[in-house]
Structure 1
């Protein structure tokens, strides 16, 4: 196995907040900008979406939520009298795969995400948006979908999203401290707003690498772990790869075209500003990256694909 020690100069030069790499359950690479970073909570931004995906899967396993093809009118009956009857076709899976069809531009153009966060009722704001595509036909990145899922989880579980996470995910993983923002109705933000330590992000990735098992206990069924990280729908530029249930999927192939080296498939949680949790099953590897630089100073290099993947693919 190639040593990962050669990564230190490159990672240090980028001044990331953290970089952790676990292989076969062993932490083989650990970088923190300083000692404070080890214990400090920090925003994981849209990596929150993948955490929420796991909670939805757990709720399905427990029978609190129905199957993924269930229309969301079961939770938002007001859609049955909406002027656009197509909204009645939106399912849980459409929300999970960002294919609900809502006319939404996260930041550019309409600035739908900022408008949602400034509205007095986020859930209603999302439900009242017009449809630009039939449900299930196109992936359009939309944190409003995630907010609907968080609201649905509250209905189904009879407790807050954060409390559900504590009971069925955080406590079993030993995640003892976190922060989680809420909307005006007190619903925890589904698409962002969770604060974790890098080591706890690594635990979450390791749970998925272990197909939902932690300390010999099945926290998420193997079936739903596998289903949630399948490449479900294609994405448009500037994104690459495909999208699953609030997880991104992609593959890496060594550009040098070395014989007998297969493409390395992986899936990952991705958050604005350099927050990532990568799971690479074929290499039994989890990679966590975090950063906190202001926009003008953010790292422009794709750290995982350009610096870490060339080492992993040869192992």
Structure 2
């Protein structure tokens, strides 16, 4: 019996060691899931006023064992596997949304007040299209021709159409409306371009500024503001949302995201290769916001002048705005950003960006480009490649986009005076219908 007991205990210990080792091996993947869930639940409650966080979780095998809770006052949320493993927390701060951190963020500046008064669209009544063709285009964008399962997979939640500066049509899914902020994901990168543009216009920043990080005493010192914005910095990066990759580690494990990106070594000579990198844009924000207002800079320089009263750009635990991913705004506010750039940075009769800023910001990068990044410019996506060939033939060649994960898009068509904002949750549909819907809208408004 003693021998059997010894064998059983040894086996149990071996299993425990194996389980523990497996947990620590898989932990980077687990905290990606719990970090996403905690941040999502906190932000939906604090920013969007929604309590259906599960509706914004992408397909994930962890979902059945995920336990998420939100504080009764909406000030924080946590998520863990079975409520105990790989637990992550997110904390809400007025004006700044939610931050994934070990404790509530301290030292954030007082947020600049933002009024709707500067925004001509914020207080308008719901705009119903008078044109049957525009109505049909929005119906196509919402998948009215699909069955319930297909419409759910398409996941369109809001479409706003502006023509020659006027709000001509909009439509929202059940539970959403003109006042519901939605996460733009990588459309935030396009807004970062505008933030840099504001600083350039004020003479605070030059696109050719280098020696951006004190610890860069090697070849990285040659990296410029322009190269960070165009994702040609050459810093090693992996944008794949998978176990232990650069992007998941930055978003869900690193309290100081900018410092983490700055620690990466060079994989390419600066300026020689375009590699899509949310880290590049987040580091750019770390560089340009330091000593210039920090997390409040987007509110002061963009949200207040444009009257984007619902807009929020969330910071990391160090206080740096997460400019690659985490801006929320209503569909009308996203469309307002499109109208602002269509007007080349003039708003309310005041020039906020240097003349020609958008023309240069939407020129596709002319260097070696990683697969899938054709048309990438300076935080915006052009509808042409560097050689002039058109990418989406359904839309005019001068079209450009802000584009984000899960089907977020602001489509700007200067030659037609059209801006279209589409927000939704489309993690799995083969066709999010944005381009075809936009083409129908443009044709209908000619």
What is the aligned partner in structure 1 of residue 214 from structure 2?
77
> SS where residue 17 of structure 1 aligns?
strand
Cα deviation digits, residues 182-208 of structure 1 (max 9, x gap): 112111111011111111001000000
Indicate which of 297, 309, 313 corresponds to 2:439: 309
1:39 aligns with 2:160: no
1:218 aligned to which of 351, 364, 378 = 351
> Which digits, 9 at most, give the CA deviation of each residue in 1:257-286, with x for residues without a partner?
xxxxx9432111111011111111111111
Superposed, which structure 2 residues align to 1:180-219 within 5 Å?
180-219=313-352
TM-score (norm 1): 0.86
CA distance in 1, matches of 2:317, 2:420: 34
User: CA contact under 8 A between 1:4 and 1:28: conserved in structure 2?
Assistant: no
User: For residue 121 of structure 1, what is the aligned residue in structure 2?
Assistant: 256
- Cα 1:156–1:221, aligned 2, differ >3 Å: closer, same or farther? farther
Aligned residue in 2 for 1:58: 198
Root-mean-square deviation (CA, aligned residues, Å) is 2.2
Aligned counterpart in structure 2 of residue 160 of structure 1, from 294, 315, 323: 294
Provide the residue aligned with 1:96 in structure 2. 229
Q: Distance in 2 between matches of 1:263 and 1:209?
A: 14
1:141 is matched with which residue: 276, 280, 292? 276
* SS of 1:289 mapped into structure 2: strand
Structure 1 Cα separation of the partners of residues 319 and 247 of structure 2? 18
Q: Which portions of structure 1, spanning 4 or more consecutive aligned residues, are displaced by more than 3 angstroms?
A: 233-236
For 1:101-141, what per-residue CA distance to the aligned partner results, in whole angstroms no more than 9, with x for missing partners?
01111125762111122124322211121211111111111
- Which of the residues 140, 152, 166 maps onto 1:10? 140
User: Aligned equivalents of 2:311 and 2:139: distance in 1?
Assistant: 31
Aligned equivalents of 1:280, 1:126: Cα separation in 2: 34
Question: What is the correspondence of 1:16-27 to structure 2 with a 5 Å cutoff?
Answer: 16-27=156-167
Tell me: higher relative CO, structure 1 or 2? Use CA pairs within 8 A at least 6 residues apart.
1
1:29 counterpart = 2:169: yes
